[in-house]
Structure 1
Amino acid sequence: MPETNPIPSAQASLVDHVREHGSHSAAHVQRMLTDFDSVSGADIADLAHFLCILHGRHPGVVDHAANKTADIAARKWLVRAMEAFSAERAFLTKLTVAAGPISGVGASDQSNATVLAQRKALDMLSQSDRDGCALGASFALVLDWHAVRPLLDKVAIKLGVEPREAILPDSDITLDLSRAVNQSAAIERAVNFGAEQILAQHRGLWQLLEARSKARQAA
């Protein structure tokens, strides 16, 4: 995974970067949030199914990062994040079951294989021995999930699943910690790299879901 489009250093905000380059910026996410009544059952099934493939299994990104992090403050944050994502995994599973099976979009549909490859990339990223990489991935995942969760809540209500309030670490706390752990230029680069890779995988997922939706509409 080459280091491209790095997060600016100095006083730049990781929160702002995630908002600009993460799920919030995805056209497919914005379309579903602003006009959810027009979202098809197939699109909902896709959303639940593929997010569950990417983040619905244990151990996940945050769990792996906890095994790679010795910093006391970071570990406290990771414990809270692990608890939050344990609940989010259960929520994703409920949504996936309620949404039902996905439908294919062609004889050569490789969507499952594509997202499984994304999952493998995230596993490798979050188990990296590079100091700060797994932690940066965890920061970005938690921050970006704040943008994903409102959409999942809409899906839950439509499917008759009671949405429970997320217990994710606060964005300000996450931002403060991300700045505190950058004790050297090398660690800062690793944190930024891990964060950017999470955002890249999420952008890829939304592009895939948008392409599947358009393929069904064109069929």
Structure 2
Amino acid sequence: MALQAASTNRAEGVWQVLAALAATDGSAAHPLVATLVTPAAAKRDLADAIHAICTIHGRYLFDQVALPDDDTAAEWFAAVTQAFTAERTYLAHLTAAAGPLPSTPGQAEADAAFANQRHAFDMLARSSRKGCAIGAALALILDWRAIRGVLDAAAERFGVMVPPRELPDMDGIAALAATLGDTPATQRAIAFGAEQVFAQHRGLWSLLEARASARDHA
């Protein structure tokens, strides 16, 4: 019983770390996200955000995640893969409806930053450190809740139908984190992978915020 209780406490600790990181370091905490989901958001800022998200996340990623030899995890990620396929289709429709990328000073530098972020996500997904890729994937799913809010706000402005959300809920993410975070080393790797995803997204929103300011003052 004592061993089981210790295991449960460690598993709950993994989820608590992920949830705390999402709340403090995730997209929902960035001021630009709060601005973009309001009716007063500039359409060109929404269009810029949609193009950027499509550039970074508009392709398949979960095929690179190294899963443990666990049927539960494999089934869970298969369902997530299907859900993200629908999200990518939605994102593609939004990008088309948003029209051309808004003209912004420093476009070449922004393109380089977006390419670096794509590379960072690819490296996290291919990480050989047990738990790192899992943590990155879980963080992406957690943070997608806030990103989806921006997508849905853009859909309303650009006349795109909003599809139902099919990604796992918080309980599902917590359950998988508890299953996979079976050792202290794996838990640390999960937290590291998650931290990197949240940091990349913070960088993305800050770049988009700077681009909005540059357009306003051009």
Q: TM-score w.r.t. structure 1 length?
A: 0.88
Detail structure 1 runs of 4+ shifted over 6 Å in the superposition.
Answer: none
**In terms of Rg, which structure is larger?**
2
Task: Determine the C-alpha separation between the residues in 1 that align with 2:107 and 2:25.
Answer: 30
Query: 2:64 corresponds to which residue?
Result: 64
Query: 2:156 corresponds to which residue?
Result: 157
Alignment partner of 2:27 out of 23, 31, 45: 23
1:68/1:127 contact within 8 Å kept: no
- TM-superposed deviation, 1:70: 2.4
Task: Determine the C-alpha separation between the residues in 2 that align with 1:108 and 1:153.
Answer: 25
Give the superposed CA RMSD: 1.8
Identify if the C-alpha distance between structure 1 residues 167 and 108 changes in structure 2 by more than 3 Å, giving closer, same or farther: closer
- TM-superposed deviation, 1:73: 1.7
Identify if the C-alpha distance between structure 1 residues 96 and 191 changes in structure 2 by more than 3 Å, giving closer, same or farther: same
Query: 1:53 corresponds to which residue?
Result: 55
Query: 1:103 corresponds to which residue?
Result: 102
Q: TM-score w.r.t. structure 2 length?
A: 0.89
Task: Determine the C-alpha separation between the residues in 2 that align with 1:193 and 1:104.
Answer: 36
2:14/2:177 contact within 8 Å kept: no
Structure 2 unaligned spans of 5+: 1-11
Question: Greater helix percent: which structure?
Answer: 2
2:27/2:147 contact within 8 Å kept: yes
Query: 2:214 corresponds to which residue?
Result: 215
Task: Determine the C-alpha separation between the residues in 2 that align with 1:11 and 1:198.
Answer: 16
Identity of aligned residues (%): 40
Task: Determine the C-alpha separation between the residues in 1 that align with 2:14 and 2:190.
Answer: 13
1:136/1:191 contact within 8 Å kept: yes
Query: 1:170 corresponds to which residue?
Result: 169
**Amino acid corresponding to residue 63 of structure 1 in structure 2:** D
Structure 1 unaligned spans of 5+: 1-7
> Is the aligned partner of 1:114 residue 2:91?
no
**Amino acid corresponding to residue 52 of structure 1 in structure 2:** C
> Is the aligned partner of 1:43 residue 2:57?
no
SS of the residue corresponding to residue 197 of structure 1 reads helix
- Per-residue deviation, residues 119-154 of structure 1 (Å, max 9, x unmatched): 011001101111111111110011110121122111
Task: Determine the C-alpha separation between the residues in 1 that align with 2:155 and 2:14.
Answer: 39
Query: 1:128 corresponds to which residue?
Result: 127
